[in-house]
Amino acid sequence: MPLRSPIAWMTVLLLMLLAVSGRAAGFVDAAERYVVVPDRIGRVMTANPAADVLVFVLAPEKLLGWSAPLSRGQRAYLPAKFARLPVVGELTRPSPMDVTQTVARIRPDLIIEAGPVSPEAAARAEQVQQQTRVPYILLDNDIQTTPRTLRTIGAMLGVAKRGNDLAYYADNAIDALRGRLLIAPADERPLVYYGRGPDGLETGLGGSQAMADIDQAGVINVAARLGRGELTTVTRDQVVAWDPAIIIAQQRSFYDLLRRSAAWRGLIAVANKRVYLAPADPFGWIDEPAGVNRIIGLYWLTALFYPDQYQEDLRTNVRDFYDQFYRIKLTDRQLEALVRPAEAHLGGSQQLIGVPLLGAEPVPLPNASPNAPVPSGRPPGRGGPGPPAVPGNPQ
């Protein structure tokens, strides 16, 4: 938002004076809203699951509750103290009256929402803030902004060292995948289908949050040819016609169908045993939610898509991530439950295709053969910059 009006300049001056006084500080969120946040924040309300995970990994003792109910499986992978936190509800769903009553009941110092930045999200945050008098900030949940977000919100919540430590981990995961893409031959980028829901017939379009991890891995999302957006429903015939080299199932029911049903048997991915179940506990490795939990997914997808370049032990990386981010020491049984349906199976030929270096776009044209080479396109990288840092805190 350009600062051309006298009112805007007065707002900035007020925020600067408040910051100097130590009583509050000005923060510019991802929607370019100027929000006065308390100098000390002890109680945080999260508006959606992506924000739940962000606050939980940084300062779980300040999280007032989960925005959505946790399953029994999720609770098993969380420290008991935090698994028992109440459900406060998503602020992005209920009516304004419900939001006002919920905020009044739990008395937060700050409300955080993490997701796509849009005029609608900014208007909602502004409305809730005006009605409740509680500062409400919007954060961009793009994967590339994850390290900066961890540093910024860590400093805001008084846990700057932890924020920096987790941001360093996220930086390494992003950089490691980028480095492997530079090494991986351009003709070894497979066509991938990500099947969501019990029947696997919901998937993400080009640029969707659900496909962000897969997009980062430089492969081709077969459903991207249907256009850009978020989620869409497809038919089994469409998936069969695309004949992806790799299929990732969000839910076990679809994973079991792929492995046992004759209806899917003719697919190359099924024949080559390149069907995988995305780990989901306590939070998804690809989405559900589209938050900082996706960082471990970058290591996992690298192991699936570029096994020749992935020389690390996936189980070691998973143990380390869960210890650092979720503060849980995985048992051998928990680790195997996560990794075994998700790990690459040696044997079976890999279907190779020609795709552009360092990017999942452009996708094959609708009239092209599903596995035909595609022309090179724009370089990777989507979305704008993440939220600025709290004044006085280094990036």
Place of tokens 């990386």: 317
pLDDT on residue 317: 95
pLDDT on residue 300: 95
Q: Looking at the structure, do residues 117 and 213 belong to the same domain, yes or no?
A: no
Q: pTM of the entire structure?
A: 0.81
Count CB-CB contacts under 10 A for residue 2.
6
Domain ranges, residue 88? 19-141
Distance CA 42, CA 108 (A): 8
Of 325, 342, 359, which residue sits at a domain end?
A: 342
Does a structural domain hold residue 29? yes
Residuewise pLDDT in 10s, the chain (395 residues)? 444 444 443 344 444 444 444 456 789 999 999 999 999 999 999 999 999 999 999 999 999 999 999 999 999 999 999 999 999 999 887 665 688 888 999 999 999 999 999 999 999 999 999 999 999 999 999 999 999 999 999 999 999 999 999 999 999 999 888 877 776 666 667 899 999 999 999 999 999 999 999 998 888 999 999 999 999 999 999 999 999 999 999 999 999 999 999 999 999 999 999 999 999 999 999 999 999 999 999 999 988 988 877 778 999 999 999 999 999 999 999 999 999 999 876 444 443 333 333 333 333 323 333 333 333 332 222 223 333 333 334 33
Q: Looking at the structure, do residues 134 and 253 belong to the same domain, yes or no?
A: no
Q: Is the peptide bond before 373 cis (omega within 30 degrees of 0)?
A: no
Instruction: Judge whether 36 and 22 are in contact, CB under 8 Å.
Output: no
Burial classification of residue 186, based on how many CB atoms lie within 10 Å of its CB (0-12 exposed, 13-18 middle, 19 or more buried): middle
Q: Looking at the structure, do residues 136 and 204 belong to the same domain, yes or no?
A: no
Of 309, 327, 342, which residue sits at a domain end?
A: 342
Q: Looking at the structure, do residues 112 and 203 belong to the same domain, yes or no?
A: no
Does a structural domain hold residue 371? no
- CATH at residue 26: 3.40.50.1980
Q: Looking at the structure, do residues 198 and 64 belong to the same domain, yes or no?
A: no
Number of domains the chain contains: 2
Q: Cα 355 to chain center, whole Å?
A: 24
Q: Helices in the chain by DSSP H: which ranges?
A: 6-21, 49-58, 72-76, 80-83, 96-106, 119-132, 146-156, 160-183, 212-216, 236-242, 252-260, 268-271, 295-305, 314-326, 332-339
Does a structural domain hold residue 384? no
Q: Looking at the structure, do residues 208 and 120 belong to the same domain, yes or no?
A: no
Does a structural domain hold residue 177? no
Does a structural domain hold residue 213? yes
Q: Looking at the structure, do residues 337 and 196 belong to the same domain, yes or no?
A: yes
Phi, psi of 95 (to 5 degrees): -70, 160
pLDDT on residue 359: 33
pLDDT on residue 367: 33
Place of tokens 């109680």: 43
Sequence-ordered list of residues with C-beta below 8 angstroms from that of 1, at least 6 positions apart, any chain: 8, 32, 33
Does a structural domain hold residue 154? no
pLDDT on residue 382: 25
Q: Looking at the structure, do residues 314 and 207 belong to the same domain, yes or no?
A: yes
